[in-house]
Structure 1
């Protein structure tokens, strides 16, 4: 297979340039790719008015830069993101990303930029040329969704919680300013937010031939728009950011709801492995959630103590972070994330 790579530069900074992969031009041979290149590049640039286009070339699959993937079960592939917050060093590539190959391909989360979405797409194409039928977004956060446009261009149907589009819309303008400054304008070049095609209010099943995926919206926990995905063939459970391992959990939903979700245990049948939103895969439920459960329980209890002592928010945040220090071991970015969590938890617990 051959793929169209288009040189593109920021219109307001012609020194910031990168090649962008345009999946709509994928072709069986170089000549067909070259024939399709001009109209596809022209249309793509029209949808990306902040960019100016340059040279286009067609390259074979083996020449595409791709994410490193691990096959964790038959036809199930996993990429572990950096266990860190967004930075120029990691280029925003901090979320775990996966894909499952059946009669078609289903992708779970798309990465934190157009560039990462392209690298994930390239990794898929190095495994199979089967069509990509679905992209499942586990929740709204930008490190999981900003690569989605690549898969929309490849023909995938984007599936997410019905609450995700509104949550993204409230934050999108801010992300388009803040994230390039965090990860670098070059790493962010060409990134746009893709619309959701299928908004879920109840569980749905995606048949892939030898396996099927059950996609289930969850009540408010990490966010108010979390999904989990169960793969029938491998027994894998993809939790998105309802499970953090190594990176301090971030609270952007309901603290009580998140703890209730953990306490309820995994869906049946019991998962054979658990793929979190951040950090390494776990082999059982307790391994996956016990440290996070302890952290969230401590956040609840220390916040209750601060509220009971009549502390205003400005005093409560540093006090909660200090009281939480016994639970800091093993969590990256503990102090900064816990301070943000304390503010969110305080706003919920003061009205208990």
Structure 2
């Protein structure tokens, strides 16, 4: 299979350029790909006034830059991100991403931090199968999970997310794009756009990939107010998104108490493989959530103690952060995250 790669540069700069994979031109031969190239490239550039084209070529699948995927169950493949915060990463590729291959089509669970990463995920899928990517499931709105979506939308995939996700992502869109532009070089972020879900899940839903079903569940406010989990029934693989952190210190952007309540109830059916939002895949639910539950419980208890003692937030946050220092060796990116979480916990728990 051949794929159209359009070189795109920032307007006014011939040095700040990036390859843009345009899946609409995908073809069985180079000649077919090249015949479609001009029209598709022109259409993609139209309306993107800050970008200019600088040539194109059609490449076979084997020559595309692809993310490394590992198979964690039959037909289930995962990209394991670097478990650090985005500010500590050279390219923002910190989240775990999933691919589930059915008999008729493919589903993607989270798409990464940029169009560049989404394209490399698409290329990795093409090295596994020529089946269409029919669905993208976004586990929540955070940029490390959701900003690589546009390439899959262009490939014809339906985008799914929690019912609260469109508003949550739309509100933060400008800030997310500004953040990655500030943190990473142009080659990593050129072409990155916000893509909102086509369909949302308010409770439960399922998708059929042909001989394989994925169950989607909208969770209550926990890590965020738009967390969605995905369960592959064929292999009992659970994609938790950032409801489960491993190695990277957990971040509260929703509700501490809601998150702890979610952790209290083991999923049914019992998953045989757990793919967290960050960190290593495991086959043990207790192993997956144990350190995170300990951290969040200690955070809650220390924050309540500070509030009960009448400490204002300016005093309570450093007190609570200090009380958690014994856990620092368990987590990457701990000091800054613990302070942020202590602030979020105080704001929530002072109103109990």
So what's the TM-score if we normalise by structure 2? Answer: 0.98
Aligned length: 351
Give the match for residue 243 of structure 2.
Answer: 242
Give the match for residue 233 of structure 1.
Answer: 234
Give the match for residue 107 of structure 2.
Answer: 106
Give the match for residue 30 of structure 1.
Answer: 30
- Is the 2:3–2:22 contact (alpha carbons within 8 Å) kept by the matching residues of 1? yes
3-state DSSP class of the match of 1:166? helix
Give the match for residue 162 of structure 2.
Answer: 161
Partners of 1:3 and 1:47 in 2: how far apart?
23
Give the match for residue 310 of structure 1.
Answer: 310
- Asked if 1:216 corresponds to 2:222, the answer is no
Displacement of 1:244: 0.2
Partners of 2:95 and 2:183 in 1: how far apart?
15
Give the match for residue 2 of structure 2.
Answer: 2
Displacement of 1:89: 4.6
- Which runs of 5 or more structure 2 residues have no equivalent in the other structure? none
- Is the 1:146–1:193 contact (alpha carbons within 8 Å) kept by the matching residues of 2? yes
Give the match for residue 254 of structure 2.
Answer: 253
Partners of 1:195 and 1:138 in 2: how far apart?
12
Deviations 1:268-291 (A, max 9, x none): 211101000000001111000010
Deviations 1:287-333 (A, max 9, x none): 00010000000110111112112222222211111111122222000
Q: Which moved more, 1:307-316 or 1:16-25?
A: 307-316
- Is the 1:16–1:186 contact (alpha carbons within 8 Å) kept by the matching residues of 2? yes
- Which runs of 5 or more structure 1 residues have no equivalent in the other structure? none
Give the match for residue 121 of structure 1.
Answer: 122
- Asked if 1:139 corresponds to 2:140, the answer is yes
Shift in CA distance, 89/298, structure 1 to aligned 2, threshold 3 Å:
closer
Deviations 1:29-70 (A, max 9, x none): 101110100111111111432211110100000000000000
- Is the 1:87–1:183 contact (alpha carbons within 8 Å) kept by the matching residues of 2? no
Give the match for residue 179 of structure 1.
Answer: 180
- Is the 1:88–1:184 contact (alpha carbons within 8 Å) kept by the matching residues of 2? no
- Is the 1:86–1:183 contact (alpha carbons within 8 Å) kept by the matching residues of 2? no
- Is the 2:72–2:273 contact (alpha carbons within 8 Å) kept by the matching residues of 1? no
3-state DSSP class of the match of 2:19? strand
- The Cα RMSD (Å) is 1.1
Partners of 1:147 and 1:83 in 2: how far apart?
18
3-state DSSP class of the match of 1:265? coil
Give the match for residue 347 of structure 1.
Answer: 347
- Is the 1:66–1:121 contact (alpha carbons within 8 Å) kept by the matching residues of 2? yes
Displacement of 1:195: 2.2
Q: Which moved more, 1:182-191 or 1:290-299?
A: 182-191
Structure 1 runs (4+) greater than 4 angstroms displaced: none
Partners of 1:163 and 1:48 in 2: how far apart?
28
Give the match for residue 55 of structure 1.
Answer: 55
Deviations 1:194-240 (A, max 9, x none): 12100111211111222210000000000000000110111101000
Give the match for residue 65 of structure 2.
Answer: 65
Partners of 1:22 and 1:84 in 2: how far apart?
30
Give the match for residue 152 of structure 1.
Answer: 153
Partners of 1:43 and 1:72 in 2: how far apart?
38
- Is the 1:108–1:138 contact (alpha carbons within 8 Å) kept by the matching residues of 2? yes
- Is the 1:248–1:337 contact (alpha carbons within 8 Å) kept by the matching residues of 2? yes
